[in-house]
Amino acid sequence: MKPEDRITIIHCANIYPLIFCFTGILVAFSIQSLLGDLYGKESSASAWCISTAFMFPVLCTTLYWAFVNQAIFRLCRIVYATHKWLQHFWLYIIIPPIEFILSCALLSPLLFWHDIVYLPQEYFCYVPYTNILGILWVILNAYGNPLLILLFIYLRITIFLRRQSINQALVVKKRQERDLLVIRRIFITVGLLLTLGIPSVILLLMYLITGEESPLFFRIEWLSVSLTEQSSISM
């Protein structure tokens, strides 16, 4: 098996369990909301409720960093081809657990700020969208940082390829073009996934302008997230 194929398998082994766990929490939220709507049974901000709500953005952040890992591998193959240790499959086994720990650390202020509370209208715990600081912190870490790094990687590779010698070996050139195509697909995939959050952003902006809370915010948000997961699996 080629080293590239090994690393591809590692990326898949990282992404799909994250999607499974992320979807599991989403299903649990939906079931709690459904039971609450049917029977009006409320819970409380227990340690389990808060922990589950905290893991939701953590898994989301780690999932987007998994896409970044794929882009980093392509960057190392093109720009830093002489640094073979950057293309070793063990590196991509070690990175995901480190990213998970860093995601927990970056999102830990949500716990210290007590931003995660029980939402009686939704029947589960999460950061209320009326808490602007908490929501912006989640958006910045879950979506903003990975997207900026993906953009940087794409620009770095594009500039590097344009500066390459015309007399470059045809085999190397084709491999680099193939890697650049993969980067473009990753960037497009992440971009499409982010567009599914537009309805929630619109509702958030409406709240900031009018000051009126929308009871449909989280219902639309979870629908968008569900479509996101289906899109990430199909892509």
CATH code for the domain in which residue 118 is found: 1.20.1070.10
User: What's the DSSP call for residue 117?
Assistant: E
Nearest Cα residue to 78 out of 173, 185, 189, 187: 173
Q: What is the pLDDT of residue 129?
A: 86
Percentage of residues of the chain with pLDDT beyond 90: 27
- Give the residue numbers spanning the domain of 109: 3-234
Please tell me the distance from the alpha carbon of residue 90 to that of residue 54, in angstroms, as a whole number: 29
- State pTM to two decimals: 0.85
CA quadruple 19, 21, 25, 30: dihedral sign = positive
- Residue 102's pLDDT band (boundaries 50, 70, 90)? very high
Q: What is the pLDDT of residue 100?
A: 96
Q: What is the pLDDT of residue 228?
A: 61
Q: What is the pLDDT of residue 146?
A: 86
Q: What is the pLDDT of residue 233?
A: 53
Counting the structural domains of the chain, the total is 1
Tell whether the model's pLDDT for residue 99 goes beyond 70. yes
Mean pLDDT, range 184-202, rounded to an integer: 71
Mean pLDDT, range 186-198, rounded to an integer: 69
Please tell me the distance from the alpha carbon of residue 72 to that of residue 79, in angstroms, as a whole number: 10
Tell whether the model's pLDDT for residue 186 goes beyond 70. yes
Tell whether the model's pLDDT for residue 229 goes beyond 70. no
Tell whether the model's pLDDT for residue 232 goes beyond 60. no
Please tell me the distance from the alpha carbon of residue 134 to that of residue 130, in angstroms, as a whole number: 9
Question: Tens digit of pLDDT for each residue in 107-159?
Answer: 999 999 999 999 988 899 999 988 989 988 998 898 888 888 888 888 888 88
